[in-house]
Amino acid sequence: MFSTLLGQYSRSFTVLLVAIVVVLLEVFGVRSAIYPGLLPYFEWIKYSSWIGIIGTTYGSIYATVEAAHLLSMATIGGLVLATDLRLLGVLLRDVPSETVTRGTHKAFSIALTVAILTGIFCAAGVGDKVYYMEVFWIKMLVLLTGACFMYFIKQPLLNSKPHSEINPWLIRLLAVTSILIWFTVAATGRWIGFS
């Protein structure tokens, strides 16, 4: 009986398991135990790695890569707004939502890859600064969970069947949560730049 349920609801059980593991890691202080040990890596990436040395030595290269980072983030923002506002029935109402969600996903993946690669370079240049910033860790956490949400939860559901067969309130919840996730990634990113 349990194995049947496990097979039938494998994704839901995986989500529950991940949530339990995250809570246990927090309760047993694993995160706070790992944190001090990460400082040498952040110092190394700024002062000893080639991306850190390029980033701190050549301002023009840092500014160029940062511009690419901002453009890729802007692309993500635009794609997320176009997709999620379509799911909410605000934009592009004459285009099927399935077409929009499938059509924007590849560009989203490319923009996210560029944002992550350029983001590593940008963070390397200020590694010893961002290590101490709570907002940097919030951004990383939301970016990681947001990417997992997009690739393992939202997109598989939206691609699995016509959207008319999915509960409309669930689609609205997914769209609003997605906007909130990428708004937080963008806002915390600017917060890092402002600090």
Partner 1 sequence: MTNEKKWGDKEIAAFGVAAVMFVALVSYWVSEVDSTVELLTLAYGSFKLFNNPLVF
Instruction: Return residues touching partner 1 (CB under 8 A).
Output: 8-12, 14-16, 19, 138, 142, 145, 149, 153-154, 156-157, 160, 165-167, 170, 173-174, 176-177, 180-181, 184
Min dist. Cβ of residue 41 to partner 1 (A): 26
Angle between helices 134-148 and 97-125 (to 10 degrees): 150
Structure tokens at 86: 């379509």
C-beta closer to partner 1: residue 19 or 90: 19
In one-letter notation, the amino acid at residue 195 is S
What DSSP letter does each residue of 140-151 carry, written as one string? Answer: HHHHHHHHHIII
User: d(Cα 102, Cα 99) in Å, to the nearest integer?
Assistant: 5
Min dist. Cβ of residue 1 to partner 1 (A): 16
C-beta closer to partner 1: residue 124 or 181: 181
61, 162, 173 from 170: Cα distances, Å? 44, 14, 5
Min dist. Cβ of residue 39 to partner 1 (A): 25
C-beta closer to partner 1: residue 31 or 64: 31
C-beta closer to partner 1: residue 82 or 142: 142
Place of tokens 């490319």: 110
Min dist. Cβ of residue 142 to partner 1 (A): 7
In one-letter notation, the amino acid at residue 166 is I
